[in-house]
Amino acid sequence: MTEAASGSRSGRKNDPDRRDRIIDACLDVIAESGVAGASHRRIAEAAGVPLGSMTYHFSGIDELLHEAFTRFSHTISARFEERMAAASDLESARAAVVDIIREDVYGDPRELVLSHELFTLAARKPAYRALTTAWMLRSRAALERHFDRDDARLLDALIGGLSIHRALDDEERDPEEIVIGVARITSA
């Protein structure tokens, strides 16, 4: 049997999803333990793969982290774009921004933690800053479908800022403050 016929050099069946499982497991480990707790060993265990798979698929932990955060930021950006594309007028666009804050960003504690971990890395490492910059540009472009450039920038900052405050404030926040903030920024 040839290599091509058996699927691998050793005759074992390939695991074509292994790299993706590792990336997904990396995000899970980061959400649970932070970037500082994301080791090759912990990620391999979470992915259910041999430790050697880590160095086979990634040159090091930094490449894996970058791939994982790239996937994460693209997923969030796509969801953001879908919400804004579904809006058909000013009111539905405002409602979409409110939903992004309430349901997408703040509604999922895992994604909130991942966002904060990525932005912390971006504050220190230019390669990650490029990811956050691309993410913000996509967000603003989606917002600019309905709002002028200045309002889009302010709304993007509001989304990030309110999300941080809502996540870290010990006091229960009034959900209406989001509606009020969006309306104030986008009023003529």
Q: Which amino acid makes up residue 49?
A: V
Q: What count of residues does the chain have?
A: 188
* 3: containing domain: 1-58
Output the domain CATH number for residue 92.
Answer: 1.10.357.10
Residues 6 or more apart from 86 whose CB is under 8 A from it? 92, 96
pTM here is 0.85
* pLDDT at residue 170 in the model: 86
Q: Based on the domain organization, do 145 and 171 belong to the same domain? A: yes
d(CA 81, CA 97): 11
* pLDDT at residue 106 in the model: 62
Q: Which amino acid makes up residue 108?
A: D
The answer to whether residue 64 is domain-embedded is no
* pLDDT at residue 188 in the model: 65
Instruction: Give average pLDDT by consecutive 10-residue segment, the chain, 188 residues.
Output: 42 76 98 96 96 93 97 94 96 96 78 92 95 95 97 95 81 87 91
* pLDDT at residue 102 in the model: 85
Q: Based on the domain organization, do 149 and 77 belong to the same domain? A: yes
SS3 at position 182: helix
Q: Based on the domain organization, do 54 and 76 belong to the same domain? A: no
Specify the number of domains making up the chain.
Answer: 2
d(CA 25, CA 35): 12
* pLDDT at residue 167 in the model: 74
The answer to whether residue 32 is domain-embedded is yes
